[in-house]
Every structure is written in C-alpha cells, then in structure tokens.
A and B are shown apart, each in its own frame.
Chain A
Amino acid sequence: MRAEILKTYKLFINGQFPRSESGRYFQIPNPKTKKPLANVSQASRKDLRDAVQAARKALPGWSSKTAYNRGQILYRMAEVLESRKPEFIDEISKMTGNPKKAEKEVLTAIDRLVWYAGWSDKYQQILGTVNPVALPYFNFTLPEPQGVVGILVADELSLIPLVSKLAPAMVAGNTLVMIASEKFPLSAITFAEVIATSDVPAGVVNILTGFKNELIPHLAKHMDVNAVNYTGTDQALVKLLQEEGSANVKRIIAHPEPKGEAWLDNQKAQSPYWINSFVEMKTTWHPIGV
C-alpha cells in the first residue's frame, strides 16, 4: 500500500506560501479520531507585518484594474473552485466531520463568487451618484476601495465565511489581510491555492493562520491598515479594535450577523451593501463651461 503525501499548510503572503517566520505551527484535530489532522503555520506579528506590506504594495495595481477585469478574476476563482470541488468537500469534511454540509458550503461558495463577480461593474451604479448641485458644476460620487483591509474570518463554518467577506472586499478593489478561522484553517489555505491560480495578482489577498488573540491586536494597531472588518458579537473584541484602531482612525466595521447556518443563506450573507462596507465615497466637482 502506498503512503499518502500529507499536505503542509503554510501561510499565504504576497502570492507565496511561506512558513511562519517564527517557525511555529499548531495542530488541529480530526473531530472523529481526535488525532492531529494537520500541522498549520502559526503566524507571528512579523508575518502579519509582511502581509500588510504585500497588501499595500498590491493596492495601486489591483484598485486600478478595470471593474470588468476584477469581475473576470473573481469568476475565474469560481471556475477553479468548481474544478476542485471534491477536494474541498473532502478537506472540509475532515475538519467538520459533516460531508453533506461541506458540499453545501462549497457549492454556495462557488455561487457566491459568481454573484460578486457579476457585481464588479454594477455596484458603482448602485452606490455611486450624480449629484444635482445648485451651481454650474458636474458633481459625482463614486465608491473607491478603503485600501488595505483586515478581515477577521468568522469561525462558525469553514470556507463560506471567508469567501463571503473576501469576494465583496476584493471586488471593491481592496487588498486583504485575512486572519483565517482558528478552528477551520485548512480550507482557507487550500482556497489560497485557488487564489494563486486564478490570475489574482500577488499580495491582493494574504491569508494568515494562527491565533486570533495573538494577531488581532497587531492588526488593530497597524498604522498602515485602513479598515478592519469583523463579523460576530464579541464586544470586547470590537472595543479593542476601536480603541487601538483610533490611532489612525481605522474604519472598524463590525457586523453581528450572520451567524451559523445563516452564512449559507443568500438572503442574509450576500448583498451589495456588503460591498458598501468596504468602500470610501469620493466626490468630485468640476465646472461646466466653455
């Protein structure tokens, strides 16, 4: 009998898969056997710093791509995810012990990517405006990316919370530093492989696995992170984010919803207003004359 090659789960920073500079790792258990399922890199604050740097570097390129192009890339991610469906279902099942739910999660993730891919060249028309000012000026307001956005991925399910936040943040032109679910990190890193093979430029999405308590304060304090997006009800955590984030007036976007299975509900877990929580509004004035 052939011995299986076991996968090493590393970080995803700047389009590469490095181990944590700290050399640390943690193990997640197989819910049935309670034996270790895999070794996962435990990111350090220096890895976080590297991820933010990569995201900052990638921002001008990604944010200036055409909306159509960003949509194409998101759609490409859906295609690649579709083609690797069984692998994801298998991997999520290993973490959760629930193959049926795993399948639902993967299918929803694919469809959600397609849904946001389609929004890439439409949300501007919903969220932006042409403003009828009482002066001879042309005046319009357009959404622009917030910049480098930190995303704290919810722990309740494995793949879908990550995809549900990644897609609206990406489509809005931001570059991301995602702190993956501590409980379900494997599919996050495997999803990074999807990102890496879908024409997403290096640094646009960076995914760190590790311990949230260790990483979040550094993310909240980082002066080059423009926004932090959190889904959940931990008021102490939100307090920390706001307090530390105030040093550079970070946008702290905290949504109590969705929870649990609601992540799989399209009514509750996808919306152009989620894109709205990843944008800044820029208003431009110009005289109308000859």
Chain B
Amino acid sequence: MQISTSSTVDQVGIEERAAALSKRSIKKQTKIEGIKLAISMIDLTTLEGKDSPGKVQALCQKAIHPLEGNSSVPSVAAVCVYPNMVSVAKKALKGTNVKVASVATGFPSGLTPLPIKIEETKRVVEMGADEVDMVIDRGAFLAGEYQKVSDEIAQVKEACGKSHLKVILETGELETYDNVRKASFLAMQAGADFIKTSTGKAAVNATLPVTLVMLEAIRDYWYQTGKMVGMKPAGGIRTSKQALQYLVVVKETLGDRWLSNDWFRFGASTLTNDLLMQLTKEATGRYQSLDYFTID
C-alpha cells in the first residue's frame, strides 16, 4: 500500500517555522482568553496502573470545575481514562458537558491481536465512552505494513459507532517528520476523527514541530477532501506558555475553525493547574504558589 501524502517534510524548515510561531507575544486579554480556551480544550488524563475509582472521581470534579468558585473558568473538554474506569467517569460526569474518553486497542503499545482491540473498543463504547483514543501498531507501520495499520484503524472506527475516534501515532517512536506526516495521512484516510501525537508513555511526547507537521497534514487533507479532522497533542505540555504556543500554531495554520475543543484538544494531566495559576496571576497581579491549587 502506498500512502499519498503529496509532500515530504524538511526537518530544519519545520523546526524554524515552529520556533518562529513560538515567539508570538501573548499578553493581557489575549493571554487570559487563551488560557481559558486552553482549559476548555483539555482532555484531563489519568493513565496510571494505580488509578482507582476515588482518583477518577476526584479528577472528574476537577474537570467540571477546574477552579472552584470561579464560574468564568470553563470545564475541560473530556476526562481520559483506562477502560476499567470509563463507568466511574461516566457516572461522575453525568449531566455535564465533559466527555469521557477511553484509551483502547492495547494501549500503550498496540501490540494486541486485532479481534481483542475491536472487542475492547466495543466494550468501552458500551460503557459510555464518548471518545476512543486508540494506538496504532508502530511496529507494523515501521515495517511498512501500511495496509495492516490502515485496516486496523478502519475496523476500530467501525467498532466506535457514534463515538469519536482519536488515533494516537506515538510520534516519538516514528522519529522522523516524514513518518509523522505519513502516519497522519494514513490515519485520516482510514477514518480518524482526531489524530493524536502520543500516549504519554514514550520517551518523546508531543512537540511543537510535530504538532505543526500534523496540523499541516490536516490542512492538506482538508484541501484534498473538504473533511475536517481534529488534533490532539499529548504528553509533555505542562505550562501555560507551552499551551499558548500550541494555540498560536493552530490559529496560524488552520485558522479560526479549528480554534475550539471540537477540533483541538490537549492531552494533559498537570497542565490545568499551571493554566489556573497563570489565570489567577493575571487577575490578581501576584505570582502564584501551587499550594493554592487542588492537586486532583
């Protein structure tokens, strides 16, 4: 199988562009709005072996009201958990706009037989997952078995039914921007609603240039087909400054249409508090301490 990506990516060029965009000066009202926008785009995530119902319930509270007592701060977009925690999250988030996202398909390696991946997907959807974050089989991709990877995505997509599918490329393992672009196209052509950088479990997670490569792939796919696909960088985005840089890249690559949580998400666990700290700093003029922000 050949993947039509229409172009290669030059490493130096894409990194220069990302660096240039990261230098945008975001101040005052723009910063406040940007932080709120970023909060609304978070997939608040816990993906640890020690996750328990208590932990997930607490996280869901944080998702609904990131800053207690301040209604101007929006809820996050979704809570992202392991399959066994979907029911807990679904219950905790009932009656809110916050979605439940579940990882699936043998997360994080994806090295599980396909029938099991499909079964897992079906089960999390049954349990109420609005969104499914699947992983691709990087081994197969790097071995050139594109058809296999593509078929898997298509079948998982079918198993998702009405739930939205985010396809994790695990870009840190793909290593080159050419591979990232190729995998992005492969995923979009196979039916991904979102493409996502990382599991958070690899040595290298989301980076600004990788995100830019994927956004440009989304743009080209939209040029070719008119179909909008969403984007989710995940892992390693911890500060408000970083989050705002990602928003700049979205704004200047795909424009206004993608600047909402329908089309852009952050996969993050600790980012929320930094955003809240910065927001409070802007409001009070005081630099903040983490002691004043809940750690859920």
- Measured CB to CB, the residues of A under 8 A from B are 136-137, 287-290
Contacts and interface: CB of A to CB of B under 8 A. Distances in A.
B52 interface: no
Contacts of A289: 10-12, 15
Interface in B155-189: 175-177
Contacts of A136: 12
Given A288-B12, A290-B176, 13 more contacts: A136-B12, A137-B12, A287-B10, A287-B11, A287-B12, A287-B13, A289-B10, A289-B11, A289-B12, A289-B15, A290-B11, A290-B175, A290-B177
B20 to A, nearest CB: 13
A54 B154 CA distance: 65
Contacts of A287: 10-13
Nearest to A286: B12
A288 B15 CA distance: 12
Nearest to A136: B12
Name which of A136, A288, A290 has the most chain B CB atoms within 10 A of its CB. A290
A136 B209 CA distance: 16
Contacts of B12: 136-137, 287-289
A288 to B, nearest CB: 7
A288 B13 CA distance: 10
15 contacts: A136-B12, A137-B12, A287-B10, A287-B11, A287-B12, A287-B13, A288-B12, A289-B10, A289-B11, A289-B12, A289-B15, A290-B11, A290-B175, A290-B176, A290-B177
Nearest to B14: A289
A110 B32 CA distance: 81
A280 B12 CA distance: 29
Contacts of B177: 290
A290 B178 CA distance: 8
B205 to A, nearest CB: 19
Contacts of B15: 289
Contacts of A288: 12
A226 to B, nearest CB: 34
A290 B175 CA distance: 9
Task: Rank and list the top 9 A-B pairs by shortest CB-CB distance, nearest first.
Answer: A289-B11, A287-B12, A289-B12, A136-B12, A290-B176, A290-B11, A287-B10, A289-B10, A287-B13
Interface in B1-39: 10-13, 15
A136 B177 CA distance: 16
Contacts of B11: 287, 289-290
A58 to B, nearest CB: 38
A137 B13 CA distance: 11
A248 B171 CA distance: 54
Nearest to B175: A290
A289 B15 CA distance: 10
Nearest to A135: B12
A253 to B, nearest CB: 38
A36 to B, nearest CB: 70
A270 B12 CA distance: 44
Contacts of A137: 12
Contacts of A290: 11, 175-177
A182 B230 CA distance: 80
A289 B213 CA distance: 15
Contacts of B176: 290
Nearest to A137: B12
A7 B293 CA distance: 104
A289 B177 CA distance: 10
B212 to A, nearest CB: 14
A139 B146 CA distance: 37
Nearest to B176: A290
B213 to A, nearest CB: 13
Contacts of B10: 287, 289
B191 to A, nearest CB: 29
Interface string B194-238: 000000000000000000000000000000000000000000000
